[in-house]
Structure 1
Amino acid sequence: MTPRGAQMLKDELQRLKEERPKISREIEVAREHGDLKENAEYHAAKERQGMVEAQIKDIEAKLALAEVIDPSKLSGDKVRFGATVTLLNTESEEEVTYRIVGADEANIDEGTISISAPLARALIGKEPGDEVRAQMPAGVRLFEVVSVEYE
Protein backbone atom coordinates (compact mmCIF):
# COMPACT_ATOMS: atom_id res chain seq x y z
CA MET A 1 0.00 0.00 0.00
CA THR A 2 1.16 3.55 -0.64
CA PRO A 3 1.59 6.13 2.14
CA ARG A 4 -1.58 7.83 0.86
CA GLY A 5 -3.51 4.56 1.15
CA ALA A 6 -2.23 3.98 4.68
CA GLN A 7 -3.25 7.51 5.66
CA MET A 8 -6.73 7.02 4.18
CA LEU A 9 -7.17 3.88 6.32
CA LYS A 10 -5.86 5.67 9.44
CA ASP A 11 -8.30 8.54 8.85
CA GLU A 12 -11.20 6.11 8.43
CA LEU A 13 -10.13 4.24 11.59
CA GLN A 14 -10.09 7.51 13.55
CA ARG A 15 -13.54 8.45 12.23
CA LEU A 16 -14.94 5.07 13.26
CA LYS A 17 -13.39 5.28 16.73
CA GLU A 18 -14.97 8.71 17.19
CA GLU A 19 -18.33 7.21 16.22
CA ARG A 20 -18.16 4.60 19.02
CA PRO A 21 -19.27 6.91 21.88
CA LYS A 22 -22.12 8.32 19.78
CA ILE A 23 -23.46 4.84 19.16
CA SER A 24 -23.13 3.95 22.85
CA ARG A 25 -25.20 7.04 23.72
CA GLU A 26 -27.82 6.03 21.13
CA ILE A 27 -28.03 2.57 22.73
CA GLU A 28 -28.47 4.09 26.21
CA VAL A 29 -31.19 6.46 25.02
CA ALA A 30 -32.98 3.61 23.24
CA ARG A 31 -32.76 1.43 26.38
CA GLU A 32 -34.62 4.10 28.32
CA HIS A 33 -37.61 3.62 26.00
CA GLY A 34 -38.42 0.33 27.68
CA ASP A 35 -39.05 -3.13 26.24
CA LEU A 36 -35.97 -4.08 24.21
CA LYS A 37 -37.76 -6.85 22.27
CA GLU A 38 -39.77 -4.37 20.20
CA ASN A 39 -37.41 -1.39 20.39
CA ALA A 40 -36.38 -0.63 16.78
CA GLU A 41 -34.00 2.21 17.77
CA TYR A 42 -32.16 -0.09 20.17
CA HIS A 43 -31.79 -2.88 17.61
CA ALA A 44 -30.67 -0.45 14.89
CA ALA A 45 -28.04 1.09 17.18
CA LYS A 46 -26.78 -2.35 18.28
CA GLU A 47 -26.53 -3.42 14.64
CA ARG A 48 -24.63 -0.25 13.76
CA GLN A 49 -22.33 -0.81 16.73
CA GLY A 50 -21.54 -4.32 15.48
CA MET A 51 -20.81 -3.06 11.98
CA VAL A 52 -18.53 -0.27 13.25
CA GLU A 53 -16.62 -2.69 15.49
CA ALA A 54 -16.16 -5.10 12.57
CA GLN A 55 -14.89 -2.26 10.35
CA ILE A 56 -12.45 -1.15 13.07
CA LYS A 57 -11.06 -4.68 13.43
CA ASP A 58 -10.77 -5.03 9.66
CA ILE A 59 -8.87 -1.76 9.23
CA GLU A 60 -6.61 -2.46 12.21
CA ALA A 61 -5.74 -5.86 10.72
CA LYS A 62 -5.00 -4.33 7.31
CA LEU A 63 -2.75 -1.68 8.85
CA ALA A 64 -0.95 -4.27 10.98
CA LEU A 65 -0.15 -6.41 7.94
CA ALA A 66 0.42 -3.60 5.44
CA GLU A 67 3.75 -3.00 3.79
CA VAL A 68 3.84 0.70 2.98
CA ILE A 69 5.83 1.45 -0.17
CA ASP A 70 6.57 5.04 -1.15
CA PRO A 71 6.53 5.19 -4.98
CA SER A 72 8.60 8.41 -4.96
CA LYS A 73 11.53 6.38 -3.64
CA LEU A 74 11.32 3.88 -6.50
CA SER A 75 12.86 4.21 -9.93
CA GLY A 76 13.30 2.30 -13.15
CA ASP A 77 11.48 1.65 -16.39
CA LYS A 78 9.69 -1.56 -15.40
CA VAL A 79 6.11 -1.46 -14.20
CA ARG A 80 5.60 -2.55 -10.61
CA PHE A 81 3.54 -1.51 -7.60
CA GLY A 82 3.40 2.28 -7.25
CA ALA A 83 4.15 3.02 -10.90
CA THR A 84 2.28 5.67 -12.83
CA VAL A 85 1.88 4.17 -16.29
CA THR A 86 0.79 5.95 -19.45
CA LEU A 87 -0.73 3.60 -22.01
CA LEU A 88 -1.82 3.96 -25.60
CA ASN A 89 -4.95 2.01 -26.46
CA THR A 90 -3.84 0.61 -29.82
CA GLU A 91 -7.44 0.30 -31.05
CA SER A 92 -8.73 3.79 -30.20
CA GLU A 93 -5.34 5.61 -30.21
CA GLU A 94 -6.40 7.12 -26.87
CA GLU A 95 -3.81 7.63 -24.11
CA VAL A 96 -4.72 6.79 -20.53
CA THR A 97 -2.68 7.08 -17.34
CA TYR A 98 -3.08 4.90 -14.25
CA ARG A 99 -1.22 4.57 -10.98
CA ILE A 100 -0.96 1.04 -9.59
CA VAL A 101 -1.93 0.99 -5.90
CA GLY A 102 -3.26 -1.30 -3.18
CA ALA A 103 -6.82 -2.60 -3.34
CA ASP A 104 -8.10 -0.28 -0.58
CA GLU A 105 -6.97 2.88 -2.37
CA ALA A 106 -7.97 2.02 -5.95
CA ASN A 107 -10.43 4.41 -7.58
CA ILE A 108 -10.71 4.38 -11.36
CA ASP A 109 -12.22 7.90 -11.32
CA GLU A 110 -8.97 9.14 -9.74
CA GLY A 111 -6.81 7.17 -12.17
CA THR A 112 -5.71 4.53 -9.67
CA ILE A 113 -6.07 0.79 -10.22
CA SER A 114 -5.57 -2.08 -7.83
CA ILE A 115 -2.44 -4.19 -8.14
CA SER A 116 -4.82 -7.17 -8.39
CA ALA A 117 -6.84 -5.71 -11.30
CA PRO A 118 -6.47 -7.56 -14.63
CA LEU A 119 -4.85 -4.57 -16.33
CA ALA A 120 -2.34 -4.03 -13.52
CA ARG A 121 -1.43 -7.74 -13.49
CA ALA A 122 -0.87 -7.60 -17.26
CA LEU A 123 1.36 -4.52 -16.87
CA ILE A 124 3.70 -5.83 -14.16
CA GLY A 125 7.24 -6.17 -15.53
CA LYS A 126 6.51 -4.31 -18.77
CA GLU A 127 8.63 -1.39 -20.07
CA PRO A 128 7.97 1.54 -22.42
CA GLY A 129 7.41 0.22 -25.94
CA ASP A 130 6.04 -3.14 -24.75
CA GLU A 131 2.62 -4.26 -25.93
CA VAL A 132 0.13 -5.43 -23.34
CA ARG A 133 -2.90 -7.62 -23.84
CA ALA A 134 -5.35 -7.32 -20.95
CA GLN A 135 -8.62 -9.11 -20.33
CA MET A 136 -10.97 -6.32 -19.26
CA PRO A 137 -14.66 -6.56 -18.29
CA ALA A 138 -15.55 -5.29 -21.79
CA GLY A 139 -13.26 -7.82 -23.47
CA VAL A 140 -9.61 -8.07 -24.47
CA ARG A 141 -7.86 -4.71 -24.91
CA LEU A 142 -4.45 -4.06 -26.47
CA PHE A 143 -2.19 -1.32 -25.12
CA GLU A 144 1.32 -0.05 -25.67
CA VAL A 145 3.28 1.17 -22.65
CA VAL A 146 4.21 4.80 -23.38
CA SER A 147 5.91 5.72 -20.10
CA VAL A 148 6.56 4.47 -16.57
CA GLU A 149 7.13 6.95 -13.74
CA TYR A 150 7.43 6.78 -9.97
CA GLU A 151 6.08 9.87 -8.21
Structure 2
Amino acid sequence: MTGDPEPISADARKALEQELSDLHEERKTVAATLKDSDEVGDRADQADEIQRADQLNRLDERIDRIEDRLRQAGIAGPVPTDKVGVGTTVTVRFADGTTDTLHIGEIADARDPKLVTSDSPLGRALLGRAPGDSVSYDAPDGEATAVVVSLGTPGDQG
Protein backbone atom coordinates (compact mmCIF):
# COMPACT_ATOMS: atom_id res chain seq x y z
CA MET A 1 0.00 0.00 0.00
CA THR A 2 1.04 3.61 -0.38
CA GLY A 3 1.38 4.40 3.34
CA ASP A 4 -1.72 6.63 3.36
CA PRO A 5 -5.09 5.16 4.30
CA GLU A 6 -6.48 3.39 1.23
CA PRO A 7 -10.16 3.66 0.32
CA ILE A 8 -12.12 0.50 -0.38
CA SER A 9 -15.07 -0.25 -2.61
CA ALA A 10 -18.57 -0.76 -1.25
CA ASP A 11 -18.29 -4.49 -2.03
CA ALA A 12 -15.00 -4.80 -0.17
CA ARG A 13 -16.42 -2.89 2.80
CA LYS A 14 -19.45 -5.21 2.85
CA ALA A 15 -17.21 -8.30 2.71
CA LEU A 16 -15.05 -7.01 5.58
CA GLU A 17 -18.11 -6.13 7.65
CA GLN A 18 -19.51 -9.65 7.07
CA GLU A 19 -16.18 -11.22 8.03
CA LEU A 20 -16.10 -9.05 11.16
CA SER A 21 -19.60 -10.18 12.11
CA ASP A 22 -18.65 -13.83 11.55
CA LEU A 23 -15.49 -13.42 13.63
CA HIS A 24 -17.43 -11.89 16.53
CA GLU A 25 -19.83 -14.86 16.46
CA GLU A 26 -16.94 -17.34 16.34
CA ARG A 27 -15.25 -15.51 19.20
CA LYS A 28 -18.41 -15.79 21.36
CA THR A 29 -18.57 -19.51 20.66
CA VAL A 30 -14.91 -20.11 21.52
CA ALA A 31 -15.04 -17.89 24.63
CA ALA A 32 -18.04 -19.85 25.92
CA THR A 33 -15.98 -23.06 25.85
CA LEU A 34 -13.24 -21.73 28.10
CA LYS A 35 -13.44 -23.07 31.63
CA ASP A 36 -13.07 -21.12 34.84
CA SER A 37 -9.34 -20.93 35.56
CA ASP A 38 -9.98 -22.25 39.11
CA GLU A 39 -11.20 -25.59 37.77
CA VAL A 40 -8.61 -28.32 37.92
CA GLY A 41 -8.30 -30.74 35.04
CA ASP A 42 -5.85 -33.16 33.54
CA ARG A 43 -3.11 -32.22 31.07
CA ALA A 44 -5.38 -32.85 28.09
CA ASP A 45 -7.91 -30.37 29.49
CA GLN A 46 -5.14 -27.85 30.04
CA ALA A 47 -3.86 -28.33 26.49
CA ASP A 48 -7.39 -27.81 25.13
CA GLU A 49 -7.73 -24.62 27.18
CA ILE A 50 -4.41 -23.31 25.87
CA GLN A 51 -5.46 -24.10 22.30
CA ARG A 52 -8.78 -22.28 22.73
CA ALA A 53 -7.02 -19.30 24.35
CA ASP A 54 -4.63 -19.16 21.37
CA GLN A 55 -7.61 -19.29 19.02
CA LEU A 56 -9.20 -16.39 20.89
CA ASN A 57 -5.99 -14.38 20.52
CA ARG A 58 -5.91 -15.05 16.75
CA LEU A 59 -9.56 -14.04 16.42
CA ASP A 60 -8.96 -10.86 18.44
CA GLU A 61 -5.98 -9.94 16.25
CA ARG A 62 -7.99 -10.41 13.03
CA ILE A 63 -10.93 -8.45 14.49
CA ASP A 64 -8.56 -5.59 15.38
CA ARG A 65 -7.02 -5.59 11.86
CA ILE A 66 -10.44 -5.47 10.18
CA GLU A 67 -11.72 -2.74 12.49
CA ASP A 68 -8.56 -0.68 11.84
CA ARG A 69 -8.91 -1.22 8.09
CA LEU A 70 -12.53 -0.08 8.09
CA ARG A 71 -11.61 3.04 10.12
CA GLN A 72 -8.76 3.86 7.72
CA ALA A 73 -11.03 3.42 4.71
CA GLY A 74 -13.50 5.85 6.26
CA ILE A 75 -10.74 8.46 6.61
CA ALA A 76 -9.50 7.85 3.05
CA GLY A 77 -12.83 8.63 1.42
CA PRO A 78 -14.13 7.21 -1.87
CA VAL A 79 -12.25 4.97 -4.30
CA PRO A 80 -10.14 7.14 -6.64
CA THR A 81 -11.10 7.41 -10.29
CA ASP A 82 -7.82 8.86 -11.60
CA LYS A 83 -5.41 6.30 -10.16
CA VAL A 84 -5.40 2.67 -9.06
CA GLY A 85 -6.76 2.07 -5.57
CA VAL A 86 -8.57 -0.66 -3.68
CA GLY A 87 -11.84 -1.18 -5.53
CA THR A 88 -10.48 -0.06 -8.91
CA THR A 89 -10.96 -2.04 -12.09
CA VAL A 90 -7.75 -1.72 -14.11
CA THR A 91 -6.66 -2.98 -17.51
CA VAL A 92 -2.97 -3.86 -17.71
CA ARG A 93 -0.74 -4.97 -20.56
CA PHE A 94 1.91 -7.49 -19.58
CA ALA A 95 5.40 -7.80 -21.05
CA ASP A 96 4.26 -10.65 -23.33
CA GLY A 97 1.73 -8.30 -24.97
CA THR A 98 -1.38 -9.80 -23.36
CA THR A 99 -3.87 -7.52 -21.65
CA ASP A 100 -6.16 -8.33 -18.77
CA THR A 101 -8.78 -6.41 -16.83
CA LEU A 102 -8.37 -6.95 -13.10
CA HIS A 103 -10.11 -5.83 -9.93
CA ILE A 104 -7.97 -4.56 -7.05
CA GLY A 105 -9.55 -5.98 -3.93
CA GLU A 106 -9.11 -5.96 -0.20
CA ILE A 107 -9.48 -9.68 0.44
CA ALA A 108 -9.14 -12.74 -1.76
CA ASP A 109 -12.35 -14.12 -3.23
CA ALA A 110 -12.28 -17.50 -4.95
CA ARG A 111 -15.44 -16.50 -6.87
CA ASP A 112 -13.60 -13.66 -8.64
CA PRO A 113 -10.72 -15.04 -10.75
CA LYS A 114 -9.86 -11.51 -11.95
CA LEU A 115 -9.34 -10.19 -8.41
CA VAL A 116 -5.85 -9.10 -7.39
CA THR A 117 -5.45 -8.32 -3.70
CA SER A 118 -3.95 -4.98 -2.78
CA ASP A 119 -1.26 -6.68 -0.71
CA SER A 120 -0.10 -9.03 -3.51
CA PRO A 121 3.07 -8.11 -5.43
CA LEU A 122 1.10 -6.98 -8.50
CA GLY A 123 -1.54 -5.23 -6.39
CA ARG A 124 1.08 -3.28 -4.41
CA ALA A 125 2.86 -2.29 -7.63
CA LEU A 126 -0.38 -1.00 -9.19
CA LEU A 127 -1.63 1.05 -6.23
CA GLY A 128 -1.40 4.77 -6.89
CA ARG A 129 -0.57 4.33 -10.60
CA ALA A 130 -2.33 6.04 -13.50
CA PRO A 131 -2.87 5.03 -17.14
CA GLY A 132 0.45 4.92 -19.00
CA ASP A 133 2.50 4.07 -15.88
CA SER A 134 4.80 1.03 -15.97
CA VAL A 135 5.19 -1.19 -12.92
CA SER A 136 7.61 -3.93 -11.89
CA TYR A 137 6.65 -6.66 -9.45
CA ASP A 138 7.85 -10.03 -8.20
CA ALA A 139 6.21 -12.91 -10.04
CA PRO A 140 6.67 -16.65 -9.48
CA ASP A 141 9.13 -16.77 -12.41
CA GLY A 142 11.05 -13.66 -11.31
CA GLU A 143 10.58 -9.94 -11.83
CA ALA A 144 7.81 -9.01 -14.25
CA THR A 145 6.52 -5.76 -15.72
CA ALA A 146 3.16 -4.40 -16.78
CA VAL A 147 1.72 -1.13 -18.06
CA VAL A 148 -1.51 0.42 -16.78
CA VAL A 149 -3.66 0.76 -19.92
CA SER A 150 -6.85 2.17 -18.42
CA LEU A 151 -8.98 2.40 -15.30
CA GLY A 152 -12.48 1.03 -15.26
CA THR A 153 -14.21 -0.96 -17.94
CA PRO A 154 -15.93 0.47 -21.02
CA GLY A 155 -19.29 0.26 -19.20
CA ASP A 156 -18.08 2.16 -16.10
CA GLN A 157 -19.11 5.73 -15.59
CA GLY A 158 -16.18 6.70 -13.39
Deviations 1:54-90 (A, max 9, x none): 222222222122237555xx65xx443243222232x
Give the Cα–Cα distance (whole angstroms) in 1 for the partners of residues 40 and 71 of structure 2.
40
TM-score scaled to structure 1, two decimals? 0.67
CA–CA separation in structure 1 for the residues paired with 2:117 and 2:53: 35
* TM-aligned CA deviation for residue 52 of structure 1: 1.4
**Corresponding residue for residue 39 of structure 1:** 46
Contact 2:90 2:148 in 1 (8 A): no
Shift of 1:12: 1.1
Structure 1 residues not aligned, in runs of 5+: none
Which residue of structure 2 lines up, in the alignment, with residue 20 of structure 1? 27
More helix by share: 1
Give the equivalent residue in structure 1 for 2:152: 149
Letter in 1 for 2:136: A
Question: What is the RMSD computed on CA atoms of the aligned residues?
Answer: 3.5
Number of equivalenced pairs: 139
1:110 aligns with 2:114: yes
Q: Where does the alignment leave 5 or more consecutive residues of structure 2 unmatched? A: 1-7
Question: For 1:1-151, what aligned pairs fall within 5 Å after superposition?
Answer: 1-28=8-35, 34-35=41-42, 39-67=46-74, 78-81=82-85, 82-89=87-94, 91-101=95-105, 104-105=106-107, 109-114=113-118, 117-121=123-127, 124-126=129-131, 130=132, 132-137=134-139, 138-143=142-147, 145=149, 147-149=150-152, 151=156
Q: Which has the larger radius of gyration?
A: 1
